[in-house]
Amino acid sequence: MIFVLSARHIVVNAKRLFVWAVVESVHTVKNWYARIASADVLGAKNCVVNRVWKKTYAQIAQKKWRKKMKTKNVKSQKPTKPEIQANLKKTQQKSSSQAQRSKTKRVTLRFSPTAWAKLLYFRDKSDNEVGGFGITEADDLLCVREFITVKQQVTAVSVKFDDEAVADFFENQVDLGRKPEQFARIWLHSHPGSSPEPSIIDEETFERVFGGCQWALLFVVAQNDKTYAKLSFNVGPDGQVLIPVEIDYSQDFGPSDQGLWDAEYAANVKAAEWLSSQASKDDNSTKSDLSSYALPYDFIDEFEKMEPTERQFILDELADRPELWDEQEEVMFL
Residues 222 and 292 in one domain: no
> What is the pLDDT, as a whole number, of residue 58?
63
Residues 195 and 315 in one domain: no
Burial code (b: 16+ CB inside 10 Å, e: under 16) for 197-218 equals ebbebbeebbeeebeebeebbb
Summarised one tens digit per residue, pLDDT across range 134-162 is 999 999 999 999 999 999 999 988 899 99
Residues 200 and 54 in one domain: no
| Residue 270 three-state SS | strand
- Report in angstroms the alpha-carbon separations of 221 from 116, 229, 313: 10, 9, 17
Residues 165 and 183 in one domain: yes
State how many domains the chain has: 4
At residue 307, what is the residue type? E
Residues 116 and 187 in one domain: yes
What number is the average pLDDT over the span 75-86? 67
Give ∠ CA 69-72-74 in degrees, rounded to 5: 110
Residues 172 and 245 in one domain: yes
Indicate the pLDDT class of residue 327, thresholds 50, 70 and 90. Answer: very low
Domain end residue (candidates: 91, 107, 123): 107
Read out DSSP for 175-203?
HTT--HHHHSSEEEEE-SSS-----HHHH
Residues 236 and 289 in one domain: no
Q: Which of 311, 276, 309, 315 is nearest to 294 (CA)?
A: 276
Residues 73 and 135 in one domain: no
Q: Are the CB atoms for 161 and 268 separated by under 8 Å?
A: no
Domain interval for residue 95:
81-107
Domain end residue (candidates: 225, 256, 271): 271
Q: State yes or no: pLDDT of 3 exceeds 50.
A: no
Indicate the pLDDT class of residue 93, thresholds 50, 70 and 90. Answer: confident
pTM of the model: 0.55
Residues 119 and 51 in one domain: no
Summarised one tens digit per residue, pLDDT across range 204-218 is 989 988 988 999 999
41 against 222, higher pLDDT: 222
Burial class (CB within 10 angstroms; exposed 0-12, middle 13-18, buried 19+) of 30: exposed
Q: State yes or no: pLDDT of 126 exceeds 80.
A: yes
Q: State yes or no: pLDDT of 7 exceeds 60.
A: no
Summarised one tens digit per residue, pLDDT across range 159-179 is 999 999 999 999 999 999 999
> What is the pLDDT, as a whole number, of residue 83?
73
Residues 187 and 72 in one domain: no
d(CA 265, CA 256): 14
Measured between alpha carbons, how far apart are the two ends of the chain, in Å?
Answer: 152
Q: Report the 10 Å Cβ neighbour count for 305.
A: 13
Residues 159 and 172 in one domain: yes
Summarised one tens digit per residue, pLDDT across range 100-116 is 655 545 799 999 999 99
Domain end residue (candidates: 271, 301, 322): 271
What number is the average pLDDT over the span 63-70? 69
| Residue 218 three-state SS | strand
Indicate the pLDDT class of residue 91, thresholds 50, 70 and 90. Answer: confident
Residues 159 and 64 in one domain: no
